């Protein structure tokens, strides 16, 4: 690998990490659309900042543009508060307006400005290594690496310092406020970090990829874990994985790096959406099927409990009697046998002691809805899980 290749991957990874952290909280706060809005409405801020500084990587430009991001959030909330339109409508009103102001500003000054809308939206990671930072003549690496690296350090510092505050104000705003943790300060803090990250990253990776890097890894992680810290760690890992694999995909296909990384993010989400152990589609379908079988099992066991007569308990009789197809009866019989709930003697089925107790407990649970007594049954049977 050449130096430039390593640098590109490094920048992509750091952008991915810097995006995953605020992204996790945006997803949990159901504010994914806000990040999209910010990513577009920073355009006028960037243009104005560029007029003033003439340098796309100037910290002043980053702050100016991030400020436009905050204005977006304030405007959206203001419009929403009037109660005339819903949040998504408010977002849809604000960001196209700001974005188009940026487009007009660029078009009006296109002659002497080296800046175009495509570059802002899509970025060009491949060029990132060419813009070097020199300190007293010494080359210390690509400028964007330094910028996004500094942003990441600040984000990490804030995350570690205010983890508890972020958690409580995201989960329960009311409690946070009553305990004296101002949810408003946390909210705008998060919006500021999201805006600064978006601006800091757009030059390298473009505004669209920033949105993808904020939302997709967090949404994937959300399907895999029930622990906030793990969710952040998974988001970071997914972001980094997509950054590197996306880079090599682009390399192989000779395609846009940002586009390939976004594609990898999409594929990763799809795979997790399908195969996640608890919240994945396949797991859900499997669980539903299992629950159906277990309901049948219970019906069957109850039938055995209620009928002591031999003729009611003959294997063949059961088919007709409970009115199931052969396959279903067989699945249920097998499941009952496997769990030692029944014994079959000369085609006559009887409940074992274990089966008898299980049936009573299960029926009791279904009637009383008292959870505590079936806690240990939850591990073996889907029926008793949520």
Partner 1 sequence: MNKIAVKVDDLTVAYNYKPVLWDIDLEIPEGVLMAIVGPNGAGKSTLIKSILGILKPIAGSVSIYGKSYKKQRSLVAYVPQKGSVDWDFPTTALDVVMMGTYGSLGWIKRPGIKEKKSALEALEKVGMLPFKNRQISQLSGGQQQRIFLARALVQNASIYFMDEPFQGVDATTEIAIINILKELRKANKTVIVVHHDLQTVPEYFDWVTFLNVKKIATGPVKDIFNDDNLTKTYGINYKVSIQE
- The footprint of partner 1 (CB under 8 A) covers 28, 30, 81-83, 161-165, 167-168, 170-175, 177-181, 222, 225-228, 230-231, 369-372, 375, 385-386
| 104/366 with CB nearer partner 1 | 366
| 130/163 with CB nearer partner 1 | 163
Tell the smallest beta-carbon distance from residue 221 to partner 1 (Å).
9
Tell the smallest beta-carbon distance from residue 177 to partner 1 (Å).
4
| 334/380 with CB nearer partner 1 | 380
| 184/282 with CB nearer partner 1 | 184
Q: Could you give the CA distance from residue 36 to residue 304 in angstroms, rounded to a whole number?
A: 59
Four-residue CA torsion sign, 65, 71, 72, 74 = positive
Q: Can you give the length of the chain in residues?
A: 386
Burial of 339 per CB tally in 10 Å (0-12, 13-18, 19+)? middle
Tell the smallest beta-carbon distance from residue 31 to partner 1 (Å).
12
Written as six digits, the tokens of 95 are 């960001």
- For residue 355, give Cα distances in angstroms to 169, 290, 291, 377: 48, 18, 18, 13
**Residue 144 near residue 12 (C-beta atoms within 8 A):** no
Tell the smallest beta-carbon distance from residue 182 to partner 1 (Å).
10
Tell the smallest beta-carbon distance from residue 145 to partner 1 (Å).
30
Phi first, then psi: what are they for 105, rounded to 5°? -55, -45
| 110/281 with CB nearer partner 1 | 281
User: Please, which residues bridge with residue 299 across strands?
Assistant: none
Element containing residue 351 per DSSP (H, E): strand 348-351
Written as six digits, the tokens of 176 are 């946070």
Tell the smallest beta-carbon distance from residue 189 to partner 1 (Å).
12
| 231/268 with CB nearer partner 1 | 231
Contacts 24+ apart (CB under 8 A), 311-317: 313/348, 313/349, 313/350, 314/347, 314/348, 314/349, 315/344, 315/347, 315/348, 315/349, 316/347
Tell the smallest beta-carbon distance from residue 6 to partner 1 (Å).
34
| 83/252 with CB nearer partner 1 | 83
Element containing residue 343 per DSSP (H, E): strand 342-345
| 82/323 with CB nearer partner 1 | 82
Four-residue CA torsion sign, 255, 256, 257, 258 = negative
Q: Could you give the CA distance from residue 46 to residue 49 in angstroms, rounded to a whole number?
A: 5
Q: Give residue for tokens 């949105």.
A: 211
Tell the smallest beta-carbon distance from residue 372 to partner 1 (Å).
7
**Residue 16 near residue 239 (C-beta atoms within 8 A):** yes
């Amino acid at each position: 690998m050449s130096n430039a290749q390593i640098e590109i991957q490094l920048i992509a990874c750091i952008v991915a990490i810097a995006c995953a952290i605020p992204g996790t909280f945006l997803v949990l706060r159901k504010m994914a659309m806000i990040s999209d809005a910010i990513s577009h409405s920073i355009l006028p801020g960037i243009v104005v900042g560029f007029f003033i500084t003439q340098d796309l990587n100037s910290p002043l430009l980053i702050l100016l543009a991030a400020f436009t991001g905050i204005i977006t959030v304030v405007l959206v909330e203001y419009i929403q508060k009037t109660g005339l339109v819903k949040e998504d409508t408010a977002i849809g009103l604000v960001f196209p307006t700001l974005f188009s102001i940026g487009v007009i500003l660029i078009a009006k000054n296109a002659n002497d400005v080296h800046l175009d809308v495509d570059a802002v939206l899509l970025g060009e990671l491949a060029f990132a290594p060419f813009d070097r930072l020199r300190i007293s003549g010494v080359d210390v690496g690509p400028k964007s690496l330094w910028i996004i690296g500094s942003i990441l350090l600040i984000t990490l510092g804030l995350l570690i310092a205010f983890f508890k505050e972020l958690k409580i104000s995201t989960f329960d705003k009311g409690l946070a406020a009553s305990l004296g943790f101002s949810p408003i300060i946390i909210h705008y803090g998060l919006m500021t970090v999201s805006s600064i990250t978006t601006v800091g990253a757009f030059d390298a990776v473009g505004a669209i990829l920033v949105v993808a890097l904020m939302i997709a890894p967090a949404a994937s992680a959300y399907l895999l874990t029930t622990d906030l810290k793990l969710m952040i760690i998974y988001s970071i890992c997914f972001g980094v994985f997509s950054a590197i694999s996306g880079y090599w995909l682009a390399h192989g296909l000779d395609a846009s790096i940002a586009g390939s990384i976004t594609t990898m993010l999409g594929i990763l989400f799809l795979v997790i959406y399908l195969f996640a152990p608890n919240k994945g589609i396949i797991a859900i379908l499997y669980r539903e099927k299992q629950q159906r079988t277990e309901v049948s099992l219970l019906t069957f066991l109850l039938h055995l409990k209620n009928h002591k007569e031999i003729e009611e308990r003959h294997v063949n009789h059961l088919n007709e009697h409970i009115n199931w197809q052969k396959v279903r009866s067989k699945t249920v019989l097998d499941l009952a046998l496997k769990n030692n709930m029944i014994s079959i003697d000369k085609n006559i089925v009887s409940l074992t002691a274990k089966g008898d107790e299980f049936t009573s407990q299960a029926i009791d649970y279904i009637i009383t809805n008292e959870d505590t007594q079936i806690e240990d049954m939850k591990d073996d049977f889907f029926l008793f899980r949520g």
